[in-house]
Amino acid sequence: MRKTFIAGNWKMHKTVSEAVALAKELVPAADGNSRYLIAPPFTALSAVGEVVKGTPLLLGAQNMSNAESGAHTGEVSVHMLKDVGVQVVILGHSERRLIYGEKDAFINEKVKLALDNDLEVILCVGETLEQREAGEVEQVVRTQVEGGLKGIPEGFLDKVTIAYEPVWAIGTGKTATPEDADAVHAFIRKVIKEMYGDKAAEAMVIQYGGSVKPGNVKELMAMKNIDGALVGGAALKAETFVPIMKYDS
């Protein structure tokens, strides 16, 4: 049985005091049947780490360097993340791919480094509107899944979550219909099956991301292949994120 995984990506929002205040509001809501994660900006990780320490609310980072240490101005290493209590890192977010030019091979280096250092990974994949309209959804998603997981042994897969985030649905208010999203999730599961076999495909947790809100989370989570949500805008306030965390209560 796959356990639902609800994650909030705060992106470049919140000062340390704002982040701590929101984390304190969310801790009591992390008491249901799902796994729960918040990913504050780097500057707030340490302080938020103190708030969530010992609670079921997991601490996530939004990115990580592909290098372990050294002359990499502006980067943050896997060891630095672990040092402040980070348990999960989001890699390959479409904003990293599209604004900062991250490619699958580069993302794959980060995935390997995170897993080698016992950090869980949320690997984001998803097509742009242009790619969807050109009928390229499966080809794009397959390339991103295969590229991101290249060389990752099956034994590490329980530390990997895939987030399907159609770019045209991120921050736009447009959500994929539950049926459309489920079809892509089923396809991702098929790709995992081809790479690792049936058991691994059945066990893979696949989150949906793209304008998830309190009003649409239930119908999305009801789909057979949707095992959680990666939430941006609606994760920035307790009044919208708590109902998403508690969608099943």
CB of 105 to ligand PEP, least distance (A): 22
Decide: is 232 part of the binding site for ligand PEP (CB under 6 A).
Answer: yes
Q: Is 8 among the annotated ligand-binding positions? A: no
Q: Which of 93, 95, 102, 127 is catalytic?
A: 93
Cβ-based nearer residue to ligand PEP, 116 or 130: 130
Is 147 assigned to a binding site? no
Report how far apart, in Å, the C-alpha atoms of 51 and of each of 122, 201, 205 are.
22, 34, 26
List, in order, residues 6 or more apart from 127 with CB less than 8 Å away: 136, 137, 140, 141, 166, 167, 168
Interatomic CA distance for residues 184 and 179, integer angstroms = 9
127 contributes a contact to ligand PEP by CB under 6 A: no
The one-character DSSP state at 132 is H
The verdict on whether residue 9 carries a ligand-binding annotation is yes
Is the Cα dihedral 203, 209, 213, 217 positive or negative? negative
Reduced 3-state DSSP string for 48-80: HHHHHCCCCEEEEECCCCCCCCCCCCCCCCHHH
Stretch that binds ligand PEP, among 39-47, 51-59, 109-117, 206-214 (CB under 6 A): 206-214
Tell me the per-residue interface mask from 149 to 188 with ligand PEP, x by CB under 6 A, - otherwise: ----------------x----xx-----------------
3-state SS, residue 5: strand
10: nearest Cα among 236, 245, 240:
236
24, amino acid identity: K
Cα angle, residue 111 at apex, residues 174 and 135 outer, rounded to 5°: 40
Minimum Å gap between C-beta 13 and ligand PEP is 11
How far apart, in whole angstroms, are the C-alpha atoms of residue 112 and residue 109?
A: 5
**For ligand PEP, which is the closer residue by CB, 127 or 165?**
165
Residue 201 or 205 with smaller CB distance to ligand PEP:
205
Clarify whether 165 is annotated catalytic.
yes
Catalytic residue among 25, 165, 185, 239: 165
What's the closest the beta carbon of residue 71 comes to ligand PEP, in angstroms?
Answer: 30
* Least separation in angstroms between CB 209 and ligand PEP: 3
Q: Is 215 in the site for ligand PEP (CB under 6 A)?
A: no
Q: Identify whether 219 is a catalytic site residue.
A: no
Q: Does 209 sit near ligand PEP (CB under 6 A)? A: yes
Which residues belong to the active site?
93, 165
Name the site residues for ligand PEP (rule: CB under 6 A). Answer: 9, 165, 170-171, 209-212, 230-234
Binding-site members for substrate are 9-11, 171, 211, 232-233
